[in-house]
Chains A and B, each alone.
Chain A
Amino acid sequence: MNERGILKTGAVVVAVALLLVLAAETDWVRPLCAAAFCLLVPGYGWARRMHLKDKGDTLALSAVFSICATVAVGTVMAVGRWWSPWTGFAALLLITLCGFIPLRRTEAGSNDSEKGFRWHLEFPAQAPEPNLRPGDETGEKR
C-alpha cells in the first residue's frame, strides 16, 4: 500500500471510529448510521464489481443491492425463527466484506511486474457504458 492508500485507509478508520463514538453518545446519530449502513454499505462492493464507471450509477446499485441484502438477512432470520440483531449485523458485514473479496484468480498480465498469479479484483462484466465521443451528449441507444 502506498502513502496515499495508507492516508485514505486511516481517514476511513478515523471517520468510522468517530461515528461509532457519536452513535454511542448521541441519540440521533445511531439511527442515521444504521440507516446509511443498511441502505448503502452491504451492496457497495458488489455494485463496484459492475464497473459502471459513473459514480451515481454505482450508488444506485449499491442502494438496490444493500436493500436486497438487508431484506434477505431479515427474512431468513424471521422465517428461520432465530432472530438476532447482532447476527444480522454480522451477516450484513460479511456480505459487505464478500463484496470486496475477489471471486476468482487470473494470471497476471505480461505487463505486470509481479510474477505468477494475482487475485482478480474485477467482476468479469462487460462495461455497460458505450464509447461515446467526448462532448456528444445525445448518445441515444438505438
Chain B
Amino acid sequence: MKLQHGPAVQTPRAPQGPPASPAYPAHWWDAVFRRDTVFVALPFVAAALWTLGFRGADPRNMGALGLLDLFTPLTVLALILLLGGFLASLHLHKPEWLLATYLVVYIALIHGTPPVLYGTLRYSWAYKHVGIVDYIMRNGSVDPGIGVGQIYHNWLGFFAGGALLTELSGQPDALSIASWAPVAFNLLNLVALRFLFRGLTRNRTVVWMALMFFLVINWVGQDYYSPQAMAYLLYLGLIGLMLRRMKRRVMVVPFAVIVAAIAVSHQITPMMMLLAVIALVALRRTPGWYLPWLAAAIIVAWALTGALSYTFPNLMDLISQFGNVVGNADQTLAKSSGQTSVGDLQVIWGGRMTVFVSGVVALIGVWRQRRTGTLILTTSTLMVLPGVLVLTTGFGGEVLFRAFLFAAPFIAFLQAQACIPRNGRGFAVRSLVAAAIITAMVLPGFLLGYYGKERQNYFTPGEVAASRWAYTHAAPHSLLVEGSTNYPGRFIDYEKFTYVSLDLEPGDSTKVWLKDPAATLAGWFSDPKYAGGYVIITRGQKIAVESGEAMPPGFLDTIEEALRRSKSFTVAYQTRDATVFAPVQRAAGR
C-alpha cells in the first residue's frame, strides 16, 4: 500500500503501449492523434519535406558553412518534425519499431543526402582508402614494405574485407560502395549501440533516448569508408558483448574473434579497446581476469607478425609521443588554429559547443543517477577512459576527435540519464521538455561540425573525371604533382606513381620557386627517374589551400596561370573544375 501511494515511486508503466483509449474519446482529435498512424506517417512526411527542401540545390553553391548553406526552412522543419516526433513517440510509449523508424529515417536523411546530392564520393581520404582496395583487387595481396600508404598494408583487415565485398558486388572499384558507407556504418552503429545500451540498462526510454543523443552529438565524421569506422562498430559490439552476463568459456571465442578483427584492421582502436576491457574486468562488470591478457596478446601478436614491417621502424615515433599529453592534444588544436574566417570559426566552435553541452549534461546525468551504483560507475568510466588516448598518441592531430568519438556513446547514455526521473520510471512531460531543450542545444553544433567542411569534402564529377584521366593515362613511375592532397586522388594504381603535394612544400623554398613556378616544375619533371607525369590542379585543392594559412592567397591560381602561359606545359585534360597539365618535353602517356 505504501508503495502504491508513496510520492516517489510510481506504478510501473506497461511497455506494450499507451493506456487503453476510452470507448468514446472526448474530442475527435483524441482518436486521431492516439493512433500510431500519425506517428508512422511523420518520419515520411519529414523525409518528403527534407527532399523538397533540397530540390534544385547545387552543391557548388556551398559556402563557408558547407551543406548548411543549402538548408532551407523546409529542411529545418523536417528535422524538427523528425526529432520532435521521435521524442513525442518516446513520451507516448510507442513501440520500438516506430522509434527505430524515426532514427533510421534520420540516418538516411543526414548521411544519405551527400551521396544523393553530390553524385560522387565525398572526402579525399575515402578515395585513398578506395585506392588500397584497388591495390588488393589487382594484386591479390598486400605489400607491407611499400613506400606509400604502408600503414594500410600492415593493418589490412578492412581493406581486404572491402576488396572481397567489392569483388562479390561485381563493381570495378569500391567508389559506389564507399559513397554509401556512412549510411551503412551509422545504421550498423545504431543496432550495435542498442545492443550495448541494453547491456547497461533495460530501461527502453534511456536506451532510445541515448541512441538519439548519440546521433545528434557525434559530429566527428569518422563514419566514412575507413578502417576506423569499421573498427569502431566492432568495438561497440565487443563492449556490448562484455556487458552481457554469460559463461566465461562462452564469451572467450567471440571475444577473441572480435579483438582479432579489430587488431588486424586499425591501430588506435585496439588501444582504446584494451583500456575498456581492462576497465570492465577491473570493475567486475565482466568476469575473466585473462581477457585483457588475451586481448593484449592478440594485438601484440599482429603488431609483431603481420605488421612487423611498420611496427619496428616506427616504434620510436610511438614511444616519443607516449606521455606527451600537451603535445598530443595540441596536434589536434593546431589543426584548427589556422582557421580565421567567420565561417570556419563557426564550424569549429559549433563542434566544440556540442562537446561542451553534452559533457555538462552527462555530468548532470552522473549526479542525478549517482545512486544507481555500478551502472553509473561503468558508464562514467567508459566515458572518461578515452581521455587516456591523449597520453599515448597524437594520431596525426586527430586524437581529441577520436577521444570524443569513443566517449560519445557513454556521454549520450548519461545525457539520457539526466533527462529521466531519478526513479528511472516513465518519461514525463518535464523529461520530454528537458530532452527537447538539450537536443535543440546540441543539434546546431552537430550540423556545423558534420556538414561545415562539406565545401572541401565535396568533389564535382569534373574533378573526379580529371583525376581518373590523369591516373589512367600516366605511365608507371610518373611524377604526379598535386596542388594539395584534397582532391579525389590515389584511387587507381596508386602505388605506381611518385607524389608531390605543392601545399606541403617548405614555406621558405615556396617563396623562391613561386616566382617562376613553371620553370621549377619543368625542372622536377626533367629528372630522368620519372617516366613522365602530370600536374593536377582542382577546385577542391584551391578551397583547401585557401582555408589554410600555410600558403599565400591565390597560391594555386598563380601556379595554374603560370602553367597556362608557359611553353613547357600543355593542358592535357580540362574540365570546368580541374586542369591536368603535362610537361611538353616528356611524353607521359601510357
Chain A interfacial positions (CB closer than 8 Å to B): 30-31, 33-35, 37-39, 46, 50, 52, 54, 56-57, 59-61, 63-65, 67-68, 70-75, 77-79, 81-85, 88-89, 123-126, 128, 130, 132-133, 135-142
Contact = CB atoms under 8 A, between A and B. Distances in A.
8 contacts: A60-B191, A67-B234, A83-B139, A124-B247, A128-B245, A137-B202, A140-B203, A141-B375
Given A138-B203, A142-B372, A63 B12 contact: no
B141 A83 contact: yes
Contacts of A130: 202, 245
Nearest to A81: B141
A126 B164 contact: no
A78 to B, nearest CB: 4
B169 A31 contact: yes
B192 A38 contact: no
B372 A140 contact: yes
A74 B161 contact: yes
A74 B375 contact: no
Nearest to B162: A74
A28 B96 CA distance: 30
Contacts of A67: 161, 230, 233-234, 261
Contacts of A37: 168
Given A39-B188, A78-B140, A78-B160, 17 more contacts: A35-B169, A35-B184, A56-B195, A60-B191, A64-B237, A68-B257, A70-B165, A74-B159, A74-B162, A75-B264, A78-B142, A78-B156, A79-B306, A89-B168, A132-B202, A139-B203, A141-B374
A81 B140 contact: yes
Nearest to B198: A57
A64 B241 CA distance: 10
Interface in B246-273: 246-247, 250, 254, 257-258, 260-261, 264-265
A85 B246 contact: no
Contact of A61 (B159, B241, B265): B241
Nearest to B241: A61
A35 to B, nearest CB: 6
Contact of B191 (A56, A68, A72, A141): A56
B483 interface: no
Interface of B: 12-15, 96, 136, 139-142, 156-165, 167-171, 176-177, 184, 188, 191-192, 194-195, 198-205, 230, 233-234, 237-238, 240-241, 244-247, 250, 254, 257-258, 260-261, 264-265, 306, 372-375, 423-425
The 4 A-B residue pairs with the shortest CB-CB distance, nearest first, are: A83-B140, A139-B202, A74-B160, A64-B237
Given A81-B140, A128-B245, A64 B234 contact: yes
Contacts of B15: 135, 137
A88 B414 CA distance: 42
A141 B374 CA distance: 8
B134 to A, nearest CB: 13
A85 B167 contact: yes
Given A125-B246, A126-B247, A142-B374, A64 B157 contact: no
Given A64-B258, A83-B136, A138 B425 contact: yes
A82 B164 CA distance: 12
A88 to B, nearest CB: 5
A20 B531 CA distance: 46
A85 B245 contact: no
Contacts of A34: 165, 168-170
B257 A75 contact: no
A35 B177 contact: yes
A28 to B, nearest CB: 9
Contacts of A30: 169-170
Contacts of A56: 96, 191, 194-195, 198
Nearest to B139: A83
B492 to A, nearest CB: 18
B15, B157, B177, B241: residue with the most chain A Cβ atoms closer than 10 Å:
B157
A54 B96 CA distance: 12
Given A56-B195, A64-B233, A79-B142, A128 B260 contact: no
Contacts of B200: 141
B192 A79 contact: no
Contacts of A79: 141-142, 156, 306
Nearest to A57: B195
B233 A63 contact: yes
Contacts of B141: 78-79, 81, 83
